[in-house]
Each structure stands twice: as C-alpha cells, then as structure tokens.
Amino acid sequence: MKSTALIRTLVGLLVLALFGWVVYNTRWEEIEVDDPARGTAATDEDYALRRILASVGATLEVRTSLEPFPPADATLVLESRLWNIFPEREAHLKAWVEAGGHLVMQGGLAHNTQELAWVPLSTVAPREKDSRVALSAEPPDSAPSDSEDGDDLQHIDAKTKRRLQIGTFSQNCWDYVESASTTIPAFGPDRTFRGCGGPVAIRSLNHVEPTWGLEFARTSSNKHAPFTAPSRMLALRVAVGRGDVTAASPFLASGNRGLLRGDNALIVAAVLQAAPGRTIWIVRDEAREPLLGWMWHEARTPFLLALAAIALALWRLMVRFGPREAQPPQARRSMGEQVRGTGQFIAGSDPRALHAATRQAFEAVARRRVEGWAELDDAARIEALAATLRPPNALDRAALQAAMNIGGGATPPQILAAIAVLEQARRALLRAPTAPPPN
C-alpha cells in the first residue's frame, strides 16, 4: 500500500511540474483578425464611401462614360484614363467646371502636354532617391519645403510605385492640417486630421491662390516621417471660373477598409465637398454598350428584318431531301397546248415570224370569199372582204389594214397587237355567213 501511494505521489508531482513548465514557457498574445466582408460590402468596392456620403445627404453614382456630363454643382471624380477619347471632351469638361462643377483628380496632373493645361495645378511624385528614403527607417535631414521638384506621377517607375504603395506611403497614418491658404475650413479651424496615405508635391501654377488644401503637419508625431521636401500635400484645391478643381494624392486610401482608418472618411468627404443634396459621380472606365445591345435598343426594326433575311437565306441553303415544289405529272400535251406553247415561244423569240404566219392563215380564209384576191392590193382586198359580211360581223377596216402592214420600226408589243387583230378577223370570217350580192 505504501509503494502504491508513493507512486501516485510521484506521478502527481511530475504532472504538476509539466504543467508549470508549460505555463512558464507559454506567451499569450492577442491578434486582430479582420472579418471578411459580407453581403453588399463584398461586391461593392464603394460600399463604405456610399454609406458615408449618404450620412451627409449626398448621393454617389459610378459611371462608365462622361455622356452626359454631371449636373451643375455636382462633384466629378475623374479616374478614367480614356476620358478624353473624343476631342471635344476636354472643352466640355472645362466649360462644365467653369459653370460651377467640382472636379477631383486623384493622381497625376501632368503639364508637359496640353492635356488639362487650363487647370492651374501640378502634381509630381517623389524622385527615385526620395522613394528609397521614404522606405527607410531614418528620418530625413531636411525640413519640408517647396524648393524641389520631382517626376510626373504618370511617368513614375512601376516598381517604385508598387514599393511606395505597399510601403510607408499607404500603410502608415500621419497628421495633416489645412494649409494656410485655406479660405473656408472643411470641419472647423485649427483641426488636425489623421490621414492614412502618403503626401505628394501638389502646387498651384501661374500664381493662382489655392482655396483649400491639406498639408503634412509639423507635429511631434510626424518628426520621424520618412518624407522628403517636395512630398507634403495630401490634397489641394483651386478655383476655376465658378467651379473648382481638387488634386488629391494617389496614395490616399479611399476603399472600403481604407476609409475606416484614421480620419480618412473626413478627408475624403472634404476632398469630394460632400454636402446635403450634392451628386457625386465617379468615372473609372470609359465603356460603351455592346454593339448587339445598342442595335437592339436603337434600331430594333431593321435589326429584326436583317435577322429574318439571314434566317431565310440560311433556310434556302439548307440540305433538302426532295424538290422545292411538286413535280408536274409526266403526260403528253394536247394539240392545243402544243400550238399555244409554240406560239408563245415564237412570240418571245421572233414576233415578226409569228405575224407573217398569222397573216398567211388570215389570207387563206379570205381568198375563199373574194375572187381575184391575188390581183388586188390590201385596201381593195379589205373593201371586197367587207362587202361579203353582214353588218353584225363588219370589220374595222382601218385597224385590219394597219395590222396587215406593220412597219419596220414596230415594237414587239405592237406586233403582238397586230397579230391579235388578224386572228380575230380570221375567226370572224370562219363564223360569219356570206352576205347576198347587192341588187
């Protein structure tokens, strides 16, 4: 009994020792795991922006074309690279802004070409050496200033841009304040915004004073920010006519998750100038309705007729297992059908030969009524022939004479008409009795 109790005591001590070792060598840490998006948020990349704008009374529309242009006093976020695919687009855009529209460009505003030359803004990105500093852990030696320039955002190296997007520019959050040139603050004066996304060098041109802007703040929380001198603006706005143009940093996070970080929702609302009743358009891609769909909506009737014609043509070309129409029975033609068929053939090929044969048949009947037929001319023949007929069977002498003597310039229809007159006269002679001689 004593040995069993001793063994149980030793096993219990070993278990306690093992449990203590596990507790001593185990470290518990909390890890935040993002819940996957569900419902509309999983399919709509503008879900968060739509909800934020709806909370202030604004509406969001995602368009695929600038036709038609947004309504007056609306905000247009132009992200499509093909927006000026038509030459007149830029002139319409300029007129729309000058009439009171609000244009937002998130990206490069290059002024090395004539595109958007009427916008007094220029956006440049950090140079290659500045991008390396931006990704390093060492703070820069120089304070922010506007004395340096960089390359256009549109010409930034793809590898550098990818490194910037996954590096400090888009991952960390920094303090921003409204610039000194701001005339109307977005959310009250002397406010600091925590923006997640790196600034770029945005400046006004032609000595145009900006009306609003967000610049990199010189605060204690930003003293180790890896940004060089030209990289200081997150957004800048200038007036153009009765409207304005806002240039925003391409690294400003505006997606579903980015809007939930820091003060990005407030910053994006300020950039878009969200206000109750305002319409905000986002144009990302230039697309057109497919050709077949356009033809169905705009030219449905000719489209259906063309499809019917194609279907009939294909049906006629299909392989058939028999003739297209019933074959007539093989039987001998009657004498009348043979004569009519021969006459139709001669009338179609040589109508003058048919006229000569018809006149010969007419004269063969007339000779039996008029003595000395061969010695008379046509006029005398018709007079003598008419004297042998009773009044009900009288002949039209003028028509009969014209039918007997057709000219050389007679057309086939005229020859066929003369043939009909001769044939009718021949049949009248066969039916009519001989008139008595005059007293």
CA distances, 23 to each of 10, 13, 18, 28, 77 (Å): 20, 15, 9, 10, 56
Position 427 confidence tier, pLDDT thresholds 50, 70, 90: confident
For the cut 80, the answer to whether the pLDDT of residue 158 exceeds it is: no
Q: Are 139 and 225 within 8 A, CB to CB? A: yes
Q: Are 404 and 424 within 8 A, CB to CB? A: no
Class of domain 40-283: alpha beta
Report which of residues 407 and 271 the model is more confident about: 271
Query: Rounded to an integer, what is the distance from CA 66 to the centroid of its chain?
Result: 12
pLDDT tens for 296-318 read 888 889 889 999 999 999 988 88
For the cut 50, the answer to whether the pLDDT of residue 168 exceeds it is: no
For the cut 70, the answer to whether the pLDDT of residue 1 exceeds it is: no
pLDDT of residue 309: 94
| Cα gap 340→375, rounded to integer Å | 33
pLDDT of residue 104: 92
Read off φ and ψ for residue 311, nearest 5 degrees: -65, -40
Q: Are 217 and 136 within 8 A, CB to CB? A: no
pLDDT of residue 437: 53
For the cut 90, the answer to whether the pLDDT of residue 60 exceeds it is: yes
pLDDT of residue 147: 37
Would you put residue 289 in left (φ > 0), alpha (ψ -120 to 50) or beta?
beta
Report which of residues 229 and 54 the model is more confident about: 54
Report which of residues 26 and 170 the model is more confident about: 26
Close Cβ partners of 431 (under 8 Å, ≥ 6 residues apart): 393
3-state per-residue secondary structure call for the chain? CHHHHHHHHHHHHHHHHHHHHHHHCCCCCCCCCCCCCCCHHHHCCCHHHHHHHHHCCCEEEEECCCCCCCCCCCEEEECCCCCCCCCCHHHHHHHHHHCCCEEEEECCCCCCCCCCCCCCEEEEECCHHHHHHHCCCCCCCCCCCCCCCCEEHHHCCHHHHHHHHHCHHHHCEEEEEECCCCCCCCCCCCCEEEEECCCEEEEECCCCCCCEEEEECCCHHHCCCCCCCCCCEEEEEEEECCEEEEEECCCCCCCCCHHHCCCHHHHHHHHHCCCCCCEEEEECCCCCCCHHHHHHHHCHHHHHHHHHHHHHHHHHCCCCCCCCCCCCCCCCCCHHHHHHHHHHHHHHHCHHHHHHHHHHHHHHHHCCCCCCHHHCCHHHHHHHHHHCCCHHHCCCHHHHHHHHCCCCCCCHHHHHHHHHHHHHHHHHHHHCCCCCCCC
Q: Where exactly does CATH 3.40.50 map onto the chain?
A: 40-283
pLDDT of residue 391: 63
pLDDT tens for 362-398 read 888 888 888 888 888 888 888 888 877 766 566 777 8
| Cα gap 439→436, rounded to integer Å | 9
pLDDT of residue 392: 57
pLDDT of residue 434: 63
pLDDT of residue 393: 60
Position 333 confidence tier, pLDDT thresholds 50, 70, 90: low
Position 57 confidence tier, pLDDT thresholds 50, 70, 90: very high
| Cα gap 378→395, rounded to integer Å | 14
pLDDT tens for 124-149 read 654 444 433 333 333 333 333 333 33
Tokens for 145, please give them: 């200033």
pLDDT of residue 227: 62
| Cα gap 266→59, rounded to integer Å | 16
pLDDT of residue 74: 93
Most confident of 150-164, 193-207, 223-237: 193-207
pLDDT tens for 226-255 read 665 556 888 899 999 999 999 988 888 778
| Cα gap 266→260, rounded to integer Å | 10
Lowest average pLDDT, out of 126-130, 326-330, 399-403, goes to 126-130
Q: Quick one: which of 307, 248, 319 has its CA closest to 79?
A: 248
For the cut 60, the answer to whether the pLDDT of residue 14 exceeds it is: yes
Q: Are 283 and 77 within 8 A, CB to CB? A: yes
Report which of residues 123 and 223 the model is more confident about: 123
The mean per-residue pLDDT over the stretch 320-335 comes to 73
What percent of the chain has pLDDT above 70? Answer: 81
Lowest average pLDDT, out of 49-63, 72-86, 393-407, goes to 393-407
Q: What's the chain's average pLDDT?
A: 78
| Cα gap 412→420, rounded to integer Å | 12
CA distances, 266 to each of 160, 175, 214, 261, 272 (Å): 29, 13, 12, 10, 10
